[in-house]
Structure 1
Amino acid sequence: SRRAFCSSIVWTAPNSEQNALIPEIVATRFQQSDAGDAGLLQDAPSSLKFATRVKIFRELIVQDRVRAKFRPQAGGIDAGHNDIYARAVAEILIRRESVLEDALATILPLGSKARGRMLVKYVNIAGEEEAGIDAGGLFKELLSEVMELGLDPNRGLF
């Protein structure tokens, strides 16, 4: 094990101050400025605890979606109960035998609309739509499968 050079509290801001920084960092980020506490996040990210950085990231996503006037993805961290029934910006049909190819062919052309709600429907090998409503679970399944297939070393994409 390593010998500590100094106490870990030397490098991180106090907990009480970290949560107070979140709104200021988010506001500064959307002003396209490096001033203030957002500069701290950029220049010395490890001075904020990982959990605080995750909160900032999630808040930035929410604010970006609000600015673009998109509803949250059903089942997402900022989604409400009624978001399941919100109109989707895109309907994504995915064939079970070609998940990665279909996902890339339908999601990439969406561009900035990919920040909005996407309705995922799977098509089985017989060519029929699978029963079910996308309340977030199908979208999560799609993301998991795309990540697994896309990062598979046998495919040679990365």
Structure 2
Amino acid sequence: MGRFRRFLRRFSGGDEEGRGSSHLGGLTDEELERIGTEEDPLADYEEALRRNFEAMEAEGRGDVERAILLYEQSVAERFVESHPYERLAMIYERRRRYAEALRVTESFIELARSGTMPRGAQRSADRRLAGFEERAERYRRMLGSG
């Protein structure tokens, strides 16, 4: 077990093995075990966040193609916040590329329903899910497949 996990368990009121513990930040044993692994949804969070800010700046200065590339990377990496999915779907919708908008929207829906997101991100995704589902249905109608 890594030093960080032991630290969290020791200072969160749990015992060394984490049985019946209440972890720092409310992390479950399963979430603690994913920290620093390939399954950790926040492994590259800061880099992804920087990329999303860069995409917003690119959009702001009219470099929409650059923004699309950056947002697409976030979608491909299953970024845990809704912003890149929303922005990318809106860009595709404005361009009448409804199949692409649907793909991006369904990607967020799949991620939100997966139950693999960190607790705070999951709560946010749960709040946004209905809006994404409505948007996906609208895109299906536009494509004549819904």
Common fold by TM > 0.5 = no
Structure with the higher strand share, 1 or 2: 1
* TM-score normalised to structure 1 length: 0.26
* TM-score normalised to structure 2 length: 0.27
Structure with the higher helix share, 1 or 2: 2
RCO higher in structure (CA 8 A, sep ≥6): 1
